[in-house]
Structure 1
């Protein structure tokens, strides 16, 4: 059961444009809906409608009835409202794919609503400008089928490393890989401002580690802040991740204040052991980054 017609909600967004191009190259018919009067010049679609997806009109729902895949590239607040309208309109055995960053809430809302639909929730663990090649994608199959398998195969064909998880596993792990990671980098950036950071003075004497962390923070500031805000507040395990981050920084401060050198060494050793399964690979990766 192949996918032939795809309706992308949020066509003009980063992932909407990325998917429209890749799916069009596969020979699929692409339809798109977004708020702008015209489709983005980088998006590809056979037919485009301008409209508010939280209040879809009959023309939008009519397209939904024709396609065999609905691809949702929307913020959570809009996505859930749109789903209430579009799920009843989909034909039997159609596939619904979303790119939301939090999965447990979605699973609670959509599971068992319509047992004749295939529901595939994905989280591309990269910004859309990087593309799928050699990047990671998490899939949560809420209701599997041949079309969901076909969609996963397409992402693998595009070069993605695909890992399947449950909704709960996804949110627990992304609380580490996204919430804690972003919190560390954003906190670093806030700290620079508090310290009166002057790039003209600091960069000439900066280390590779500093420039790398600075570059990561710069990249975050160049993206839509809504993305990072939603990750921090929507993940049900986000508070736990930030509390652990805060406690770790306090632990380091306490070691330095009390001059507990051996305790510092022991903490680094324990952390190194945590990374032992992939330590050599990560060290080599850091070397490649610094060589650049």
Structure 2
């Protein structure tokens, strides 16, 4: 039996919201989708309403819910905190799926410090499925509802990773904003060299093939989503500055003359990066070998050259 007899997923017609609707319903929760439009398949289980200004019907629904999950944009979620938490019954759980957590933590501290709350952030595209994948969990106020929802994520195959709100936003600035900036910048640089991509794919060593694959994957997504990741995280700008500074440092080491790197030009950089990777280095090297085997569909030991 589900720990949440009645659940409300606001924004349940979106990809992330729909994933959690499925998770809750599979666990036996009677789950209502609340959205501004009715999804085609949700005729009998969707309430069209504005969560930032609940009318009588939505107010009654929120008052009966064991879990209210906000799977909406940050501006909507923050505006909804006060009206939603005032309507929720004591002991009910509030959750969100925002990609930035500091704002929600501050809003709850200011207006609803007694409400049990966890912010979830699936670190993958919903279409990839939850099995084996990390779900960041920022607990603002712990309690039995939080524990129950995290168990539900685990039972669905997800891997909850607990972080504080500042830790979450620093981490996603690196794992998402910085990573996407690297990939798009790599693509722009290639495009501006005038190279033919068919020649590149025919001749590229494995590291380049991986970067091309990452670029192709991003191009299959939404520019708006990737853009929001960049501008919504207040720590993303510093991550991009670090990237620009690192590229300038690299350029200063290798120089612009034909002589290239001096005998010790990159020694210090490699030493710094060895220290940064620490005990994770060997495991990541093994991971890379497996990745290269996948690219070449071979059982050989993988590539070691650049």
TM-score by length of 2: 0.87
| CA shift for structure 1 position 285 | 1.3
The match for 2:276 is: 274
Could you say what secondary structure the match of 1:263 adopts?
coil
| CA shift for structure 1 position 94 | 0.9
| CA shift for structure 1 position 169 | 1.5
The match for 1:283 is: 285
Map 1:187-202; keep pairs closer than 5 Å. Answer: 187-202=185-200
**Is the Cα–Cα contact under 8 Å of residues 69 and 94 in structure 2 kept in the other structure?**
yes
Cα distance in 2, alignment partners of residues 87 and 23 from structure 1: 21
Change (3 A) 1:182 1:59: same
The match for 1:19 is: 20
**Is the Cα–Cα contact under 8 Å of residues 123 and 133 in structure 2 kept in the other structure?**
yes
Change (3 A) 1:116 1:191: same
Unmatched tracts of structure 2, length 5 or more = 295-306
The match for 2:105 is: 107
Deviations 1:17-41 (A, max 9, x none): 11111211111111002233x3254
**Is the Cα–Cα contact under 8 Å of residues 20 and 45 in structure 1 kept in the other structure?**
no
Change (3 A) 1:197 1:30: farther
| CA shift for structure 1 position 197 | 4.2
| CA shift for structure 1 position 88 | 1.6
2:58 to 54, 57, 60: 60
Deviations 1:184-222 (A, max 9, x none): 112112222322343223211122212211221222222
The match for 1:7 is: 8
The match for 1:35 is: 36
Cα distance in 2, alignment partners of residues 288 and 83 from structure 1: 45
Deviates more, 1:113-122 or 1:192-201: 192-201
Change (3 A) 1:49 1:197: farther
Q: Is 2:133 the partner of 1:135?
A: yes
Map 1:170-185; keep pairs closer than 5 Å. Answer: 170-185=168-183
Cα distance in 1, alignment partners of residues 83 and 187 from structure 2: 41
Change (3 A) 1:107 1:140: same
The match for 2:208 is: 210
| CA shift for structure 1 position 3 | 1.7
**Is the Cα–Cα contact under 8 Å of residues 34 and 52 in structure 1 kept in the other structure?**
yes
| CA shift for structure 1 position 114 | 2.6
Change (3 A) 1:48 1:197: farther
Moved segments of 4+, more than 6 Å:
none
- Taking only aligned residues, the RMSD between alpha carbons, in angstroms, comes to 2.0
Between Structure 1 and Structure 2, whose CA radius of gyration is higher? 2
Change (3 A) 1:53 1:223: farther
| CA shift for structure 1 position 149 | 0.8
Change (3 A) 1:55 1:214: farther
| CA shift for structure 1 position 69 | 0.5
